[in-house]
Amino acid sequence: MRLFKIFILFIGCFLIAVFVPLLAKEKNVPSFRKNKGNFSKQKQTHVSGKVIICGVCKDVEKAIPYSIKNLETLGALFDDYAIFIYENNSSDRTAELLKDWETKNKKITITSEIVDDEILSETCFNKTIQNEFYRPERIARARNIVLAQAMNPELDSFQYVIWVDLDFEHPFPFQAIIDTFYSQIKWDAVFANGIDDKGNLYDTYALRDYSLPIGAELIGNQWWDMRGKLKLKLDKKGTWYPVFSAFGGMGIYKRDALKGCKYSALVTKDLESFEKNLIFSEEWSNHREIQLYFTELKKCTSVVELPISPHKEMPYYSRDYLGEGFTLGEKEENGLIFRMNSGVGQYPSICEHVPLHASMSLHGHKKLFVNPALVLHYFGRS
């Protein structure tokens, strides 16, 4: 009997020693720590700060209902928002629908106009074989109109600028957008993982990365074949992909990083400075594309000095002749030799995003990435 009482006493002491501290600990622990695993995975739903949303478009009537919902939802994620959209020469109801939207939301500014070649010739210079101004130059002109609105000093209280394409007919990946702002990675601009039907990165004209850091403006149209053979497919759950330039249908920028920068579909002195830093650096000397640039220079039998600022009276040169090179201004020691490319021959052409990002980098804003989770779909394209 005595042994039984001792056994019961032992069991009682054991239970008190084990469970009382646990109950006391549970009582004093905040609720979010009781469920630490769930809390660590809790999704953010708001971004602190104010955002300017920008876009340019033409003939996107079908996509406008999606754009209205996407952009208003995107803006509502922030403390405040403003939207600037430019449209010209649409043959459908794009202008009408955008203007109607503007009347219903005071945060929206729509710029809509009809432009002819006389107007375009003030800022566009390359013409295609069809005698039309090169499309990237027309887009650069439109983007710069909106960029000037977004960078108005009256909006200096806004911290972010988000550029979006306006022809997507699906919801934006809002959680991935929010998560971008809570990333531990320091960034100046983050771009969408815009993919085709096969899951490959689609907007490769805007892309400059460690595989192909320079483009057709330096090695001619063979660049298009090289880029086409590189099928870049990013793991949607993978780490951010570092780039020198990209877009993919959306670009999220720290607004300060855009100060002093402009879009251009022609090569610029800032672009030349940026590419010289790559081409003549020891780090990149053995890169196959850099070596190709120097190999192709041996085929160059004449060099034409182009004006640093292009103008209407520029002559027409061969579209894709590697025997002819071009400098921006007077030829300099270690100056780059550019090439005509992409079906135009007045001035070396380029995707309008690339010079903008080159200028950003020269100004110290060089932390550029593609976020693989920020997926936009280019349906019907591969």
Give the confidence band of 380 by pLDDT, cuts at 50, 70, 90.
confident
On whether both 179 and 313 belong to a single domain, the answer is no
CATH number, domain containing residue 67 = 3.90.550.10
On whether both 252 and 281 belong to a single domain, the answer is no
* 3-class secondary-structure state, position 329: coil
On whether both 70 and 146 belong to a single domain, the answer is yes
On whether both 257 and 279 belong to a single domain, the answer is no
Structure tokens at 45: 């739903």
On whether both 313 and 191 belong to a single domain, the answer is no
Q: Is 318 or 93 the better-scoring residue by pLDDT?
A: 93
pTM (global) more than 0.85: yes
Q: Return the closest-CA partner of residue 143 out of 111, 114, 171, 115.
A: 111
C-alpha 76/C-alpha 90 separation (Å) is 28
> Do residues 314 and 237 lie in contact, with contact meaning Cβ atoms separated by under 8 Å?
no
Residue 319 within a domain:
yes
What residues pair up with 245 in beta bridges, in sequence order? Answer: 208
Residue 364 within a domain:
yes
Give the confidence band of 42 by pLDDT, cuts at 50, 70, 90.
low
Residue 64 within a domain:
yes
C-alpha 241/C-alpha 85 separation (Å) is 29
On whether both 364 and 233 belong to a single domain, the answer is yes
Query: 162-197: per-residue pLDDT in tens?
Result: 999 999 999 999 999 999 999 999 999 999 999 999
Output DSSP code: residue 214.
S
On whether both 173 and 120 belong to a single domain, the answer is yes
On whether both 88 and 131 belong to a single domain, the answer is yes
Residue 42 within a domain:
no
On whether both 83 and 190 belong to a single domain, the answer is yes
**pLDDT above 90 covers what percent of the chain?**
84
Residue 23 within a domain:
no
On whether both 286 and 173 belong to a single domain, the answer is no
> Do residues 234 and 336 lie in contact, with contact meaning Cβ atoms separated by under 8 Å?
no
Residue range(s) defining the domain that contains residue 317 = 269-328
Query: 261-273: per-residue pLDDT in tens?
Result: 999 999 999 999 9
The count of domains in the chain is 2
Dihedral sign computed on CA atoms, order 340, 342, 344, 348: negative
On whether both 85 and 197 belong to a single domain, the answer is yes
